[in-house]
Amino acid sequence: MNKFPNSVLLNPDKCNGCINCLKRCPTEAVRIRRGKSVISHMRCIDCGECIRVCPARAKTPVRDPLAVTDGYRYKVALPHPALYAQFNNLEDKAAVLGALLAYGFDDIYEVGAAAEKVSEATRRLIAEGKVNLPLISSACPSVIRLIRVRFPNLIPYISPLNAPEDVAAKTALRRAERKTALPREEIGVFLIAPCPAKTTSVRAPVGLEKSDIDGVIAISDIFPKLPSLMKNLDLENLFPDGETLNTAGRIGVSWGGTGGEAGGVLSDRCLSADGVENVMKVLSHLEDERFQNLEFIELSACSGGCLGGVLTIENPYIARVKLNALRKYLPVSGARLDGSEKKSLFWQGEIEYVPAYGLSDDIGESISLMEKLERILEKLPGLDCGCCGAPTCRAFAEDVIRGHKGGCIHKRAAGDFYSEI
């Protein structure tokens, strides 16, 4: 299996080779080659920027089709809190959970409930003083990938706790096995997700041997099926065995948007940033130790947090208003950590540095390549126009160093060809 799968799918028939994705990509992972957009798998962090910006709609976020649940005898849904924010006038999220049961799921475990356990465990970790501060949230898979490729010095600051969806999957799976006594392969656990980065993290998990999630369903795919199923629900007798599945409180639901996770840490020494460019600035400053006295850092690649994921429908800022309204009547926290779970909250193994930018493994060689790069750069016009298929003149020079054969349209217009560089 590809060690660095991505969750962006290109339809080459639609791609017209324009430079929108090229210029927008925050990690310079995109090039235009032979008139089509090409992604470097090592550099791509699954932030979804290229999907958002593509005017030809040639890029689609990877997720599983709704039919992914077919063939499982017992189906468990893990709804992300961003799902609730898609609905208008939602007073009780039990209605959404009821609709999911009516849709065909047998059990539900809210990602928000698991998030509350992660919040509680995070508070304990900080209080015990056994972690590097500031602790960086591990919840956004794009941010984790960004740190792995660009900010290796910050890897030791990443929270050792699993992302809420992984905690939810583990808990839900255990419960399903206990309840049904079915073999593992007949139980399907499905995340209802706001972004494709979650798809990648399921297919190539970081810090987990194997994800317990069997499929990733887009909020944007399942949401349109739900409103009609919400009519005539008996909210009082919704759940089988009288067990309530509606557990996530204010903290868990708030994880859907920016600031929610930091809010759950219950400390005023938390920083929240969203939008990948802002996140990169924060990480760069953090790397230079420009921040003092912070305990926790919440970062999401999407503006608006998970509510801004490319697998959602509602405008993230409107979604935020809806989430705030829904939160109002919820208890602060609905899920509590029980002692036996503690171990399953922590990820296993190491998060590794992915050196995707180095010119060479040998420093001496890198130095001479860098000199060559600077020499090429001096001869380029510095317009960063993207016409050559690289996002900046510097990136073009870097490609040339790596063996790319191509030219500069401006040099050519002036009768000066790349080969003379």
Partner 1 sequence: MSIVLKHEIPGDDFSRAGEASSAVKNKLKQMGIPPEVIRNVSIAAYEGEINAVIHANGGEITVTVDPDAIVIVISDTGNGIPDIELAMQEGYTTASDNIRALGFGAGMGLPNMKKYADEFDIRSEAGKGTVITMKIYMKRPKD
Where along the sequence are the contacts to partner 1 (CB under 8 A)? Answer: 150, 152-153, 284-285, 287-290, 353, 355, 357-364, 366-368, 370-371, 374, 398
Tokens at residue 84, please?
A: 């609730």
Query: Which residues face 218 on adjacent strands?
Result: 193
Report, in Å, the least distance between residue 153 CB and partner 1: 5
Q: At what angle do helices 111-128 and 164-180 cross, to 10 degrees?
A: 120
In the bound state with partner 1, the residue whose beta carbon lies nearer, of 27 and 272, is 27
What residues have CB less than 8 Å from 337, skipping those under 6 apart? 117, 120, 121, 345
In the bound state with partner 1, the residue whose beta carbon lies nearer, of 312 and 392, is 392
Tokens at residue 217, please?
A: 């369903």
* Strand 107-108 with 74-79, pairing: parallel
Report, in Å, the least distance between residue 9 CB and partner 1: 29
Tokens at residue 228, please?
A: 């009609």
In the bound state with partner 1, the residue whose beta carbon lies nearer, of 40 and 180, is 40
Q: What is the largest CA-CA distance in the chain?
A: 79
In the bound state with partner 1, the residue whose beta carbon lies nearer, of 254 and 392, is 392
In the bound state with partner 1, the residue whose beta carbon lies nearer, of 44 and 397, is 397
In the bound state with partner 1, the residue whose beta carbon lies nearer, of 67 and 363, is 363
State the CB neighbour count (10 A cutoff) for residue 144.
25
Report, in Å, the least distance between residue 370 CB and partner 1: 5
Report, in Å, the least distance between residue 274 CB and partner 1: 21
CA distance 346 to 121: 10
Report, in Å, the least distance between residue 197 CB and partner 1: 23
In the bound state with partner 1, the residue whose beta carbon lies nearer, of 284 and 324, is 284
Report, in Å, the least distance between residue 284 CB and partner 1: 6
The secondary structure of residue 353, as a DSSP letter, is P
Q: 8 — phi, psi (to 5°)?
A: -115, 130
Report, in Å, the least distance between residue 281 CB and partner 1: 9
What residues have CB less than 8 Å from 116, skipping those under 6 apart? 248, 249, 251, 252, 264, 333, 334, 335, 336
The 3-state DSSP class for residue 8 equals strand
Query: Among positive and negative, which fits the CA dihedral 178, 180, 182, 187?
Result: negative
